[in-house]
Structure 1
Amino acid sequence: MFNDIGPMELVTLVVLAVLIFGPDKLPKLIQDLSNIIRKVRSFSESAKQDIRAELGPEFKDFEFEDLNPKNFVRKQLMDNDDLGLKEIRNSFDLRKDMEEVADAVHGRESAPATTAAGGAVNGSATPDLLKKREKLDPGERPPFDADAT
């Protein structure tokens, strides 16, 4: 609850509380505040129990934390793989697709098929298009990127 309060801020709050309420009333105030917090917690727990009882046995696994949108999305999309999303996600080979597009842009024939690890088959190496080259050869034009213009 108070994760973002630093030590200096905490000391400042204590000093202000002593100055405002005085050292003789401060222990009674802290005790009253702790009793209020206890009552609010017990009220919220009883409300949760009432809601669970009203929902019935089909919602026995219902957690109120799941109502948080982040937790709901994580539980429904990430943990639950009914659609086979992991298999679909793993089937994309972006390196191969990028090489095919680069070859088409430069007018070259398609590169040989690559392995899943990204290495070339039959020992032939394909150039890494994302790697920056040191220098251009004399008379060589720089590569043209249609997406950058």
Structure 2
Amino acid sequence: MFFDIGPLEMIAIVILAVLVFGPEKLPKVIQDVTGFLRKVREFSDSAKQDIRSELGPEFKDFEFEDLNPKTFARKHLLDKDKDEYGLRELASSFDLRKEMAEVADAVNGRPSDPVPSAPAAGGTASGGSDLLRKRDTPAPAERPPFDADAT
């Protein structure tokens, strides 16, 4: 519907309003609320017009939604018609989910791609100890490593 309110929530609000204000006062309350919202909207529009007129003619097509950083970046940097900085190519070449999956696979010792890659630092290609590989079960007599920075 609007304002992220579903039909069941709207019915609940109407029933609650009838219970709180009563059926005889409800039309007057609705009329007062809509009048208040209309006045707030008129005040907001007049304030926007005053600000635009004070800024001058170079800001005549200024939108207040542009003050939101996300909207500003989307409008000026990621516009479909102009891509001066090559940001679309950069965004399409960088896939964060793929990178994170590769790191997680390396930490958990799962192969991330069918082509074998170079051994990780500290590991050996002949099947020696790989420091990033997670052990299935801890050795019974082996103590965990001591980390002086963590204590």
Within 1, Cα distance between the matches of 2:87 and 2:9?
47
Identity of aligned residues (%): 60
Deviation at residue 75 of structure 1 after TM alignment: 1.3
Can you give the 5+ residue segments of structure 2 that lack an aligned partner in the other structure? 94-111, 121-129, 133-151
The number of aligned residues is 101
TM-score in terms of structure 1 length: 0.57
Can you give the 5+ residue segments of structure 1 that lack an aligned partner in the other structure? 93-128, 133-142
Deviation at residue 2 of structure 1 after TM alignment: 3.6
TM-score in terms of structure 2 length: 0.56
Within 2, Cα distance between the matches of 1:144 and 1:59?
56
Q: Match of 1:83?
A: 85
The higher relative CO (CA closer than 8 Å, separation ≥ 6) is in 2
Distance 1:12 1:145, change over 3 A: farther
4+ runs deviating over 4 angstroms = none
Higher percent of residues as helix: 1
AA matched with 1:38:
R
Aligned positions of 1:1-149 closer than 5 A: 2-79=2-79, 80-86=82-88, 89=90, 130-131=113-114, 143=116, 146=119, 149=132
Q: Match of 2:104?
A: none
| Deviation readout 1:72-122 (Å, 9 max, x if unpaired) | 011121124333445x649x7xxxxxxxxxxxxxxxxxxxxxxxxxxxxxx
Deviation at residue 42 of structure 1 after TM alignment: 0.4
AA matched with 1:82:
E
Deviation at residue 145 of structure 1 after TM alignment: 5.1
